[in-house]
């Protein structure tokens, strides 16, 4: 074996996963087609749940220093989603360029000893499930010769045109939802008063958000001028569309990046085929509305990392590996629906339709449970995984960052281990995978928190040993799967 795990793609998904695996003592090689690190600002919004995951890894503070937090989203005309009431240490949306997120994750991966091979384009793979089984990944380097890497598990984190997904023969069903969206990163001589400005009027849609360093991201869409992605982008057209949608072009000038893209809604039907897993854009893609793509990919990685590490270390069985698809596929589905809904609402054409949308939106956001649900959905704070039959109903929910002796729960989770929280935790025999933390305000019950911050189990000290024996014994039987090749 060249490594326990090979990850294809050093985007945000692949980098977070690589760091998690290395931290768990798993040898990992990342194969990346690009020869240089990315300086592209595709994603610019990091949501609260992603910040919590980064906090568990000790890098949230560093990323927060690169951007601007937004505490309220102003959608359409005065439909406000208040993020400041989220039950999180990160009750906001962080606006920062994707390259900053990648830089922070790359530094973490480097510090943990991840091997990243650049200029390595994956063109196919073959997997065998018998005996000790493994996956052979075929690589075409920039110099030409073909190399093969063998690993126990392979992750396709290689983006929307995933070669790994193709090699698995998986379809990517869905459709194109919006074409010819213009994008510009510019300076503004008259920036908007609201941190975030977004509106659509008639055939024009525009969105403006600050990066916090003097640069602004503009999206503009012109229903009257729909052209191919490769058609040149003219800043004058972006100015004109922004004026129609928002009443002003904010004096935009000096673009550092102009681009045009289209947006699809697609999701792969299976996130796992034998020893190969798909994560991030390779598994799902959707409209940029709601700023969910990168966030969902990083949270896929947070869900998968500790499960793969468990399999490599011999205690995580087939059902734990399968739970990656069972937990993350529905989240991807939900993101497709929510980002699609925001986009369709934004682009409603008739004036009466937009008025109705705005009035209904304002009424709904005035109802506290509806407003809380909207903030929970968009921020990822509301994500929960299904509890197994017979389990405490809280199993699968996100564990808040409660104060524990010596710090906070997120500090205790650093290192990628389970944490047993409870007043009597130290008196229980702990499995090798588990650390203990004593809450500042003990409740008398035990809560076992997974490395990704979700609740694995809740119960009494008397119940814990039998449950833990079953859970951490797992099964190390080999993965059986037919060969896959391209
Ligand atoms: C204009 C725009 C704005 C966006 N805004 C947001 C936002 O605000 N918030 C948000 O959450 N998301 C946003 N997104 C989506 C976000 O950019 C993606 O969801 C995110 O980059 C996905 O990360 P990833 O790591 O899964 O894939 P990618 O970032 O695409 O990374 C995949 C990596 O794999 C490499 N690769 C590809 N093929 C191969 C191969 N065959 N062999 C080896 N390496 C390969 C690529 O070079 C790349 O480095 C936006 C997208 C766009 C286009």
pLDDT 10s digit of each residue in the chain, 486 long? 789 999 999 999 999 999 999 999 999 999 999 988 766 668 889 999 999 999 999 999 999 999 889 888 877 767 888 999 999 999 999 999 899 999 999 999 999 999 999 999 999 999 986 557 899 999 987 676 689 999 999 999 999 999 999 999 999 999 988 889 999 999 999 988 766 777 778 788 898 888 878 889 999 999 888 888 889 999 999 999 999 988 999 999 999 989 998 889 999 999 999 999 999 999 999 988 888 999 999 999 999 999 999 999 999 889 999 999 999 999 999 999 988 888 888 777 777 887 888 888 888 888 888 889 989 999 999 999 999 988 999 999 999 999 998 899 999 999 899 999 987 555 678 888 999 888 888 777 899 999 999 999 999 888 999 999 999 985 433 333 333 333
Distances (CA, A) of 245 to 110, 208, 464, 474: 44, 11, 58, 56
Task: Decide: 45 in ligand 1 pocket, CB within 6 A.
Answer: yes
CATH code matching the domain that covers 403-473, chosen among 3.40.50.150, 3.10.100.10, 3.40.30.120, 3.40.50.2300: 3.40.30.120
By most ligand atoms within 8 Å of CB, the mutation choice from 205, 293, 299 for ligand 1 is 293
Query: Which residues of the chain are in CATH 3.50.50.60 domains?
Result: 3-44+97-172+268-346
What's the gap in Å between 9 CA and the centre of ligand 1? 9
Task: Decide: 218 in ligand 1 pocket, CB within 6 A.
Answer: no
Query: Which residues of the chain are in CATH 3.40.30.120 domains?
Result: 403-473
Task: Decide: 102 in ligand 1 pocket, CB within 6 A.
Answer: no
Q: What CATH number does the domain located at 3-44+97-172+268-346 have? A: 3.50.50.60
Task: Decide: 32 in ligand 1 pocket, CB within 6 A.
Answer: yes
Domain 176-263 in CATH 3.30.70.2450: yes
Task: Decide: 257 in ligand 1 pocket, CB within 6 A.
Answer: no
pTM: 0.92
**Where does residue 278 fall: left (phi above 0), alpha (psi -120 to 50 degrees), or beta otherwise?**
beta
C-alpha 387 chain-centroid distance? 22
What's the gap in Å between 347 CA and the centre of ligand 1? 24
Extract the runs of DSSP E, i.e. beta strands, from 317-460.
Answer: 403-404, 407-408, 418-421, 434-437, 446-449, 455-459
Beta strands 120-128 and 45-46, pairing class: unpaired
Beta strands 72-75 and 79-82, pairing class: antiparallel
Task: Decide: 165 in ligand 1 pocket, CB within 6 A.
Answer: no
Those residues with Cβ within 8 angstroms of residue 94's Cβ, 6 or more apart along the chain or in another chain: 45, 46, 47, 51, 63, 64, 67, 68, 69, 70
Extract the runs of DSSP E, i.e. beta strands, from 360-478.
Answer: 403-404, 407-408, 418-421, 434-437, 446-449, 455-459
Task: Decide: 286 in ligand 1 pocket, CB within 6 A.
Answer: no
What's the gap in Å between 481 CA and the centre of ligand 1? 29
Query: Which residues of the chain are in CATH 3.30.70.2450 domains?
Result: 176-263
Dump pLDDT digits (tens) for 21-34: 999 999 999 999 99
By most ligand atoms within 8 Å of CB, the mutation choice from 34, 42, 147, 258 for ligand 1 is 42
């Amino acid at each position: 074996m060249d490594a326990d795990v090979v990850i294809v793609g050093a985007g945000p998904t692949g980098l977070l996963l690589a760091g998690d695996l290395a931290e768990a003592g798993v040898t990992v090689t990342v194969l990346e087609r690009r020869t240089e690190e990315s300086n592209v600002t595709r994603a610019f919004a990091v949501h609260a749940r992603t910040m919590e995951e980064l906090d568990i890894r000790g890098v949230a503070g560093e990323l927060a220093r690169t951007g601007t937090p937004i505490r309220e989203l102003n959608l359409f005309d005065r439909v406000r989603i208040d993020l400041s009431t989220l039950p999180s240490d990160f009750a906001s949306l962080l606006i920062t360029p994707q390259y900053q997120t990648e830089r922070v994750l790359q530094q973490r991966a480097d510090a943990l000893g991840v091997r990243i091979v650049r200029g390595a384009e994956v063109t196919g793979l073959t997997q065998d499930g018998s005996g000790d089984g493994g996956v052979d990944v075929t690589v075409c380097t920039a110099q030409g010769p073909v190399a093969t890497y063998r690993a126990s598990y392979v992750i396709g984190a290689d983006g929307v045109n995933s070669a790994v997904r193709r090699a698995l023969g998986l379809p990517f069903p869905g459709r194109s939802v919006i074409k010819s969206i213009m994008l510009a990163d510019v300076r503004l001589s008259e920036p908007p008063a609201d941190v975030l400005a977004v509106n659509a009027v008639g055939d024009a849609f525009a969105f403006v958000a600050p990066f916090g360093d003097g640069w602004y991201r503009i999206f503009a869409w012109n229903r009257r001028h729909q052209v191919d992605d490769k058609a040149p982008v003219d800043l004058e057209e972006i100015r004109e569309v922004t004026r129609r949608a928002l009443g002003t072009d904010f004096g935009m000038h000096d673009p550092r990046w102009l681009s045009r893209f289209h947006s699809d809604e697609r999701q792969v039907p299976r996130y796992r085929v034998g020893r190969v897993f798909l994560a991030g854009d390779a598994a799902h893609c959707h409209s940029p509305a709601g700023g969910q793509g990168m966030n969902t990919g990083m949270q896929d990685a947070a869900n998968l990392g500790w499960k793969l590490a468990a399999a490599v270390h011999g205690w995580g069985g087939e059902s734990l590996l399968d739970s990656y698809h069972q937990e993350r596929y529905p989240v991807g589905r939900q993101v497709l629906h929510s980002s699609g809904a925001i986009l369709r609402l934004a682009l409603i054409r008739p004036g009466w339709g937009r008025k109705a949308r705005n009035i209904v939106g304002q009424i709904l956001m005035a109802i506290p449970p509806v407003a809380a649900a909207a903030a929970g959905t968009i921020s990822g704070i509301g994500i929960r995984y299904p509890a197994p039959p017979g389990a405490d109903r809280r199993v699968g929910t996100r564990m808040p960052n409660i104060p524990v002796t010596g710090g906070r729960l997120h500090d205790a989770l650093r290192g990628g281990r389970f944490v047993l929280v409870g007043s009597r935790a130290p008196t229980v025999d702990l499995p090798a995978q588990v650390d203990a933390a004593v809450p500042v305000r003990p409740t008398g019950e035990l809560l076992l928190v997974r490395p990704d911050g979700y609740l694995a189990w809740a119960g009494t000290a008397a119940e814990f040993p039998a449950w833990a024996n079953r859970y951490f014994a797992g099964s190390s039987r080999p993965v059986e799967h037919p060969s896959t090749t391209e």
